[in-house]
Amino acid sequence: MAALALPLAFPSGATATVHTPVRAAGPDTSPGATRTLPLAPLATSGRVIGTPLSQGLPARAVRPFSMVGITWDDVGTDLRGTVQVRTRATGTGTWSKWRTVEAHSDDAPDAGSSEGSASAVRGSTSPLWVGRSDGIEVRVVPEAPAGSRRGVQPGLPKGLRLEMVDPGDEPGDGLGDGSGDLGGSYLDPDAALDPGPAGPGGGIQRGDGTADGPAGDGAFPGEPSGGGEPAESDGPSGGADPSGGDPSDSGDPFDGVGPSEGGYPLGGGRQDGTTTDNAADPADTSGTPVESPFVPALSRSQTEALTGQRFTGGRPRIVTRFGWGADEQLRNEDSDFTDAISAVFVHHTATGNDYECSDSPSVIRGIYRYHVKSSGWRDIGYNFLVDKCGNIYEGRSGGVSKAVFGAHTLGFNEHTMGIAVLGDYSEDEPSREALSAVAGLAAWKLGIYGHNPEGMTYLVSGGSNRYPKGTRVRMNVISGHRDGFNTQCPGTELYDDLGIIRRTAAGLQGR
C-alpha cells in the first residue's frame, strides 16, 4: 500500500489509550504498558453487497510495543475470520510481512466460573510476539459467508480493538548468562533421559523415525515403545488433596527449597537444604514473596521421600514468577485451587517462533499482561510455560506443586493443569529440549498426585464446543488441548509428539 512508503504520524484523534488496571480504578503505574485502539471498517473495492466489512487500522506510528492481539466485547462470540498484522521494527524502520494472529478464543476460564463470568472478561485472540516495534497495520477479514450472496451475514464481533503490549524491562536478577539457556533440559538429575540400565543414549526419537540425539528403538531409551491400550491411571481421579491438607495452605513439603543433585546451575536459587512442612515456597506469591528466581531441581529419590509416592519424577528446576519478572500488582490477589491434578493438557502459545530464549521472560510477561489487562482474566491462564531451550516457568500463582485452577482449556480447567510451549507448532517441530522439559514437568507433577503419564482418566466437561457441559470424558492423562476442544492447539507437530512425552514421563517416574 502507498501509505507504507510515507512517514508515519499519529492520526488526529486516534492516539492509543492506556488500560486502567482490572482490579482497581486509577492509572497504570506498573512496569510495562497496554495500549488499545478501536478497529474501524476498511474500505474495500469490489465487495459483494450484503457481505460484512473487513475491519482494521491503516499503517500508523505508535508507542513501542512487543506483543499484539485483538479483543472484543462478548467472550461468548467467536471471531470467525482472518486476523493479520504488519509491524515496523524499532530503530530500523523495516516493516514486517503480514503475519497471522491465531483467532481462536479457547484458552479461557470455564464458562460459569467466577473468573469466566466476570464483567471484565473479553473475547480475545491469542497474542502474537512481534519484537520491539513502533508502527502497526491491522486487517481483520470476515470468514467467507456460506449460502446466499445477499442478505445479512454474521460479520465480526462487536467492539473489536487492537491490544499493543509493552512487557516492560527485563527482571533485574539476571537469568542465566544472557543467552536464554538457563541450564538445559530440567529432567530428573538421577535419570536424565536414560532411566533404563540398558539405555543406549539420551536422545528423544520422533514418531517418524528421526531422532534428536543418539538413536534408539523407542522414544525413551531402555523403555518399550510398543503401543496398545494405555493403562487406567492408578492415581486418584480428584476429590481430595493427596497430601491430606488444605490445598491453599502455603506450607508444602513438595515445594520446600532443597539441595539440587546432578549439577544443575541454580542461578540465584537458594540451596539451604530446607525441606520441612514449614518451608516457604519460593513460588508462592499469595503471601510475603520469597524473592528467589528459581525453584531448584530435586532428584527422583529426594522427591519420592518428600511426596511418599512410589512413582514420581524428580522435581525440575522452575523459574519462578519473581524470576521472570511478574508484576504481582496486575493480577487478582487470590488464587483458586482444584481438588487434585488428574490430567495435563499440552498447549502451544501460538505467539510465534521468532524469539530468542533470552526473550522468554519478556514473552511471558507479555502473555501475562495480555491475559489480565486485555482479556480480563484473574492471572495468566497457563499453569506452566516452557521455551524452546527447555526452560520451565511458573505460570498462574498459587504454588508450583499445588492444584492451581487455571484458565487454559475451556471446559476442562478443573482437576487439570496446562503446560504451554512458547511458539507455534502447526508446521514447525518442537525442540528436543522443549519435549524433555514437558515430560519432566509432567512426570513430577502427575507423580505428586499418583498418576501414570501413560494412563487414562475421566474428566467432566464444564462446557466446550466439543463436549457439552456434564459430559464424562475418558482421556489420556497427558492430552493435547484439541482433545478437549475443537482447536488446532497445540499444533500438529507438537500433538504428534505427545506419545513421546508420555513414554518419557512414565520412564522418569520409574515405571
Band (334; pLDDT cuts 50, 70, 90): confident
Instruction: Read off the CATH number of the domain in which 114 is found.
Output: 2.60.120
pLDDT surpasses 60 at 430: yes
- pLDDT of 419 above 80: yes
Name the band, by pLDDT with cuts 50, 70 and 90, for residue 369.
very high
Q: Would you say residue 183 lies in a domain?
A: no
> pLDDT grade, residue 104 (50/70/90)?
confident
Residue 35 has pLDDT above 50, yes or no: yes
> What is the tens place of the pLDDT at every residue in 286-316?
333 457 899 999 999 999 888 888 899 999 9
pLDDT at 17 over 60: no
Q: Is the pLDDT of residue 253 over 70?
A: no
Domain boundary among 136, 166, 196: 166
φ, ψ of residue 124 to 5 degrees: the values are -155, 150
Q: Which has more confidence, 187 or 458?
A: 458
Give tens-digit pLDDT for 231-249. Answer: 555 444 433 333 333 333 3
Mean pLDDT of all residues in 378-386: 96
346 occurs within a structural domain: yes
What pLDDT score does 112 carry? 63
pLDDT of residue 113: 62
The whole-angstrom separation of Cα 430 and Cα 435 is 7
pLDDT at residue number 92: 94
- Overall average pLDDT of the 259-287 stretch: 29
- Does 484 lie in the same domain as 393? yes
pLDDT(257) > 70: no
Task: Kindly provide the residue ranges of all beta strands, DSSP E only, lying in 106-245, ordered along the sequence.
Answer: 123-124, 128-142, 161-166, 204-205, 211-212
Instruction: Tell me whether residue 199 is in a domain.
Output: no
Per-residue confidence (pLDDT) for residue 435, from 0 to 100: 98
Shared-domain flag, residues 13 and 148: yes
Same domain, 259 and 392: yes
Query: Does any domain span residue 196?
Result: no
* Average pLDDT score over residue span 188-194: 36
What is the model's pLDDT at position 436?
Answer: 97
In a domain, 82, yes or no: yes
The sign of the CA dihedral 399, 285, 351, 489 is positive
Q: Give the residue numbers spanning the domain of 77.
A: 2-166
**What is the percent of the chain where pLDDT is above 90?**
52
Q: Is residue 474 scored above 60 in pLDDT?
A: yes
Q: What is the pLDDT of residue 485?
A: 83
Q: Answer yes or no: do 130 and 243 share one domain.
A: no
| Cell numbers placing 428 | 514447525
Q: Are residues 122 and 208 both part of a single domain?
A: no
* 103, 210: one domain: no
User: How many domains are contained in the chain?
Assistant: 2
Is residue 60 domain-resident?
yes
Whether 265 has a pLDDT exceeding 70, the answer reads no
SS3 assignment, position 166: strand
What pTM was computed for the model? 0.74
The whole-number average pLDDT for the span 2-11 is 34
Q: Which of 166, 185, 213 is the last residue of a domain?
A: 166
SS (H, E, C) 282-296: CCCCCCCCCCCCEEC
User: Is the same domain home to 34 and 134?
Assistant: yes
Q: Give the integer Cα–Cα distance in Å for 464 and 506.
A: 29
Q: Are residues 34 and 112 in the same domain?
A: yes
CA distances from 293 to 270, 283, 326, 344, 358 (A): 9, 9, 11, 25, 15
Asked whether residue 185 is domain-assigned, the answer is no
Q: The domain that contains 336 carries what CATH number?
A: 3.40.80.10
- Select the more confidently predicted residue: 413 or 136: 136
The answer to whether residue 191 is domain-embedded is: no
pLDDT attached to residue 36: 97
Residues 211 and 128 in one domain: no
Q: Where does the pLDDT of residue 216 fall: very low under 50, low under 70, confident under 90, or very high at 90 and above?
A: very low
Computed over every residue of the chain, the mean pLDDT equals 74
- CA–CA separation, 34 vs 258, rounded Å? 38
Max avg pLDDT among 22-31, 174-183, 303-312, 411-420: 411-420
Task: Assess whether 219 and 147 both reside in one domain.
Answer: no
Regarding whether 282 and 141 lie in a shared domain, the answer is no
Q: In angstroms, rounded to a whole number, what is the distance separating the alpha carbons of residues 428 and 438?
A: 17
**CB of 164 within 8 A of CB of 34?**
yes
pLDDT at 90 over 60: yes
480 and 403 housed in the same domain: yes
Q: Indicate if the pLDDT at residue 353 is higher than 90.
A: yes
Question: Backbone phi, then psi, for 492, in 5-degree steps?
Answer: -60, -40
Query: In this model, does residue 337 exceed pLDDT 50?
Result: yes
The pLDDT value given to residue 242:
35
